[in-house]
Structure 1
Amino acid sequence: MPNIDRLEIAKFDADGMLEKILKFPQQLSHALELAKSRKVSLNNEIIQNICVCGMGGSAIGGDLVRSCFNDYIDIPFSVNRYYRVPNFINENSLVIVCSYSGNTEETLAAYEDAHQRKAQIVCVTSGGLLSAKAASNNHPVFSVPSGYPPRSALGYLLVPILYCLFSTGKISDPEQSILETIEVLENLAAEYDPDENDNLAKQISRSLKRKIPLIYASVAGFEPVTWRWKGQLSENSKVLAFGNVFPELNHNEIMGWGPLDEINKKFQVIYLTDRGDDFQAGRRMELTRKIVEKHTVDSIIEIKSQGESLLTRLFSLIFLGDMVSLYLAVENQVDPTLIENINFLKQGLLSA
């Protein structure tokens, strides 16, 4: 496809996914303003573990918080994607329940389970049944604006988790990291704008056309970024995508790069790297590159994170992935907002 401009995007993007992505820095800014104005009162003295409950776009905020602050939070921190909470949840637990719509089946069930176990509960939602249940049970709520696909509301879903943890004293004030992230993403939004011909996001989207994206992150802490990339490529671009992290993939997946070259050639591998990568991780990536490129027709695309704080570096890669997914949707001539398969599944579950 010729250079993708706004006119070409408009043919497929009826619901404005492009603008939602480009305006993500403003969303982060608004989310920061909202979170700072909401004071949550918790019994911090008895909190012995923290669990974030959610699904899809409403859960990844918890994953990112865990990646950013795993070295600082001195009690167990988990992310739960299921109908029930872990068995260790009790009155000494803090459970943060995230459902953008407020109507996510699994998350509502997890909320009820946590409530039965007498956990301290904080909810993050735009409304729905979760908001009503929280009001009925006097559980504090971070209310966020409605009208977004959940995957486009990551800022609204992430920042309240950060400020909830800050209120417990388990992490330091996240404001400076958020402000740096906003600044870096504003610059990247200008860089990846459709008006910028042949920008990096467009180049990567062209490389992914008629390919199966395979996202490899350099360290385990960046695993949520691989999930975000493959989730956005699936939901926005309507392609299957897969991901893994070093060093785990060197103990199993690496053996898949073998004799079936006709299949392997369908993959486009992307390396997500960070300045915090240690020497051994770098060696693993280079040795793996030699194996992969022996069995594929395309060179590995390597992308480096930008920024100082870990939060900013994670989001610099997430933002690029979001833009790539938008441009690839246009390359594939599909609407980036429509999620027909997910809606079919939901309707089937309701009618069962």
Structure 2
Amino acid sequence: MPQIAATAPDPDDMRAAVRAHPDHLQEGWERGGAVESFDLDASSLNGVVVCGMGGSAIGGDLVRTLVEPSSPLPFVVNRGYTLPGWVSEKTLVVASSYSGGTEETLSAFGEATERGAQIVAVTSGGTLSERADADRTVTIPGGLQPRAALGYSLGVLLRLARSMKLTDLPDGVVDDALAAARDRAGRYDQDEDGNAPRDLSAAFVGALPVVYRGVGLLEAVGMRWQTQINENAKHPAVGNVFPELDHNEIMGFESGPEDVLSTMQVVVLRDRDDHAQIQKRFDATRRLVEGSVGGWHEVETDGDSRLSRMLSLVQYGDWASLWLALRKNVDPTPVETIQQLKKTLA
């Protein structure tokens, strides 16, 4: 197959940003060391709420799925203008806005301030930086699309979770995960057959990617796949989680329009620690559905730790979305429809 990237438009070099994800993650982790001086005591809190939208929120979702098995506190992500009613002075609210100007996050930040919540800001600047307490702000580098800055915000939130003892994350585990991520970045950047995310992207051209995964570690990873395909490739993608989809969505394959079903390329994200019953559901659902859709693909996590395995499929999806954009000759960086919507709302 001929090279894809040689003539594809990428003037702002999104490819370099995707390749640099491991470096961003390491810097985010290092900058996140500042939270250790914030004196955050999990034993005095009733929960952690990460407020954000889009690329500034997905890091919170990834940390949520990582810490859920061990966290002594509820850890939730809030995508909206208002906060849950239970948020109080006993709640840690993390306002995450890469630009510092996300209107939903600023609204929730204002409400958190009124309620006397403990607040930490994660931003590259903007209005949030101006309004937040400088002694409770972690500043991350600007200049990227928010989705391309995931490594920075994720690194900060991982460091925060460890400092609050929401999860056990030794330095050696982080170092190993970063080394594996750098290795993957080098392999997935190769414009040649045998590069798994590049090869998978070919199945998405002219098709509807459907991203399935189990509840747990890969729940938020699947969301990342969907939104990266949307924003990088300007391409529709949908998804759902097991076991819920087996209680409703599976019926849509029974007598759905053949011309619709034939365009669906199902990708199932799998992890070795998926619940045994969910693993059975993967296989049983495949037997029932595969013959009705255009394609069925399964992608396994890679790595020893939960962190490394989670990162392995974040990277896989990011690269698949980038290669899809380049295959389509679509510039992966701009999000003009989102900008038009913001102007209309303004």
TM-score range, shorter chain: over 0.9
Alignment of 1:20 with 2:17, yes or no, is yes
1:251 partnered with 2:210: no
CA shift in 2, pair 1:75/1:325, >3 Å:
same
Q: How does 1:95-110 map to 2 (within 5 A)?
A: 95-110=93-108
Aligned length: 344
CA-to-aligned-CA distance 1:269-296 (integer Å, 9 cap, x gap) = 0010011123322211111111211212
**One-letter amino acid matched to 1:323:** W
Tell me whether 1:7 sits opposite 2:6 in the alignment: yes
Deviation at 1:115, TM superposition (A): 0.5
Aligned-pair Cα RMSD in Å: 1.6
Shift of 1:42: 3.0
Matches of residues 171-210 of structure 1 in structure 2 within 5 Å?
171-173=167-169, 175-210=171-206
Residues 164-173 or 48-57, more deviating: 164-173
Q: TM-score, normalised by structure 1?
A: 0.93
> Are 1:265 and 2:262 an aligned pair?
yes
Q: CA deviation at 1:173?
A: 4.0
Contact 2:268 2:298 survives alignment (8 Å): yes
Q: Measure, in 1, the Cα distance between the counterparts of 2:190 and 2:315.
A: 14
Instruction: Output the amino acid matched with 1:262.
Output: D
Distance 1:205 1:54 in 2: 29
After superposition, the Cα gap between the structure-2 partners of 1:297 and 1:146, relative to the gap in structure 1 and judged at 3 Å, is closer
Which residue of structure 2 aligns with residue 85 of structure 1? 83
**Which digits, 9 at most, give the CA deviation of each residue in 1:101-141, with x for residues without a partner?**
00000000000000100000000000000000014xx5500
Partner secondary structure for residue 42 of structure 1 = coil
Counterpart CA distance in 2 for 1:220 and 1:56 is: 20
Q: Structure 1, residues 65-105: CA drift from partner, whole Å, max 9, x if none? A: 11111011112221100101111000111111100000000
CA contact 1:215–1:270 (8 Å) conserved in 2: yes
Q: Give the C-alpha shift of residue 174 in structure 1.
A: 5.0
- Of 276-285 and 200-209, deviating more is 276-285
- 1:48-63 aligned at under 5 Å gives the runs 48-63=46-61
Is contact 1:51–1:93 with CA below 8 Å preserved after alignment? Answer: yes
Q: What corresponds to 1:157 in structure 2?
A: 153
> Does residue 32 of structure 2 align to residue 32 of structure 1?
no
Structure 2 unaligned blocks of 5 or more: none
Cα offset, 1:183, TM superposition: 1.2
Question: For the residues of structure 2 that align with 1:318 and 1:69, how far apart are their CA atoms?
Answer: 17
Partner SS state of residue 14, structure 1: coil
Q: Which amino acid in 2 is paired with 1:245?
A: V
Percent identity between the two aligned chains: 39
2:341 is the alignment partner of 1:345: yes
- Sort the Cα spacing of 1:37 and 1:49 in 2 relative to 1 into closer, same or farther, 3 A: closer
Which of 309, 320, 323 matches 1:324?
Answer: 320
* Residue equivalent to 1:112: 110
Q: Retained in 1: the 8 A contact 2:26–2:155?
A: no
2: CA distance between counterparts of 1:62 and 1:28?
Answer: 14
Secondary structure of the equivalent of 2:320? helix
Counterpart residue type for residue 268 of structure 2: Y
- Please give the alpha-carbon distance, in whole angstroms, between the structure 2 residues aligned to 1:198 and 1:133: 49
SS class of match (2:12): coil
Check 1:174–1:17 CA distance in 2 against 1; reply closer, same or farther (3 A cut).
farther
How far apart are the structure 1 equivalents of 2:167 and 2:217? 17
Identify if the C-alpha distance between structure 1 residues 179 and 297 changes in structure 2 by more than 3 Å, giving closer, same or farther: same
Taking the aligned partners of 2:321 and 2:211, their CA distance within structure 1 comes to 13
Alpha-carbon separation, structure 1, partners of 2:51 and 2:127 = 15
User: CA, structure 1 residues 103+324, in 2 after alignment: closer, same or farther (shift >3 Å)?
Assistant: same
2:274 counterpart of 1:280: no
CA distance in 1 between partners of 2:140 and 2:149 (Å): 9
Contact 1:54 1:80 in 2 (8 A): yes
Residue 241 of structure 1 pairs with residue 242 of structure 2: no
> What is the CA–CA distance in structure 2 between the aligned matches of 1:332 and 1:159, rounded to whole Å?
32
